[in-house]
Chain A
């Protein structure tokens, strides 16, 4: 589990359904130790976004040179977590997905306490080497966690 100053081991048992290729694999995991408490950073980010006058919009995270502006790190972390869900749902024993880049992200204003982001991400599939655009709508709240409410594969640009 990636984190600059703390590494936690995680073991997982992944069972691919050989019969039904469209089913997501079964995953049982065990985290060895404890995850760092991120309440403070979460709340800081939450309040920062909530107080923005205009909806957040960003693109190309990281950029061509691998740069991520510090204020975009939480946006990236959110995408990383959300893409994990999308990847899980679309994995089989012949795929290996990684989040390659956030092409575009747009905040969607909500009347409730949740933050909503509309992401267009690029997934890199390591076996076919394809770069697959994928749309995902992500809901997040510091106490209630993350939810991917919508996601769909997009056509590749020629």
Chain B
């Protein structure tokens, strides 16, 4: 089995690193492409032994499982570009937040009658094989296709199938989740430093504390509330600290965060569905390159860009 990544950024790098470390895929069976060769992740991928190319078409041709690992606004451009090369054998896996299966299927169906599409939401810790991934299968993806993806993603962490309508919530929770954790860890380390610990040690201990707590929860039958109680001796240090967290509305802040990320994901999806994306969302170099490769795709100079106009139908 060979795997391809359209896009050679953080996500492609993280997944490639994870798959190779897990031994589920050899580096030379992985291809990644991007027009931008200056990305730091590009040299990282090359060092791994991954085949790197500037041609997205080459990636498609040499892959069975094709990951779309570009930012959501770029997806339509990519689909337009590689659509003609998609065959029935390909499993197209989109990792783009807020991009629906139906929008991808709609786009690809002009090139291929029954495109196999799977939508997935993962997160960056796949890089250390502790990712959290969910996927939803499209109209023409079989059970085996889903299982194949599940096998791949399970090698780099937790993976389970869900209904597509839950994916936005997953984005808010575990997609963005590592960022919440990094923020918390930064602050915890600050607390340690304030109380006298050297920074490096503070970071190390903070990270280990969260790692250990997460591991305990995953391996325990107990409710996190119970596990919390187990740490809080009457009148002790921990309960004093927790009181501060509660006073600051810690819990509600986290609920707010998950909610905000989920809602924003839906907003972006809605914008995409309306086929109105501001060019500012797309890097200028990328836009120029796409214009060069697809002269038929017109880019309006007004503030809105229509991305789904099907030029092949226009006569």
Q: Please determine whether chains A and B interact with each other in the same assembly.
A: no
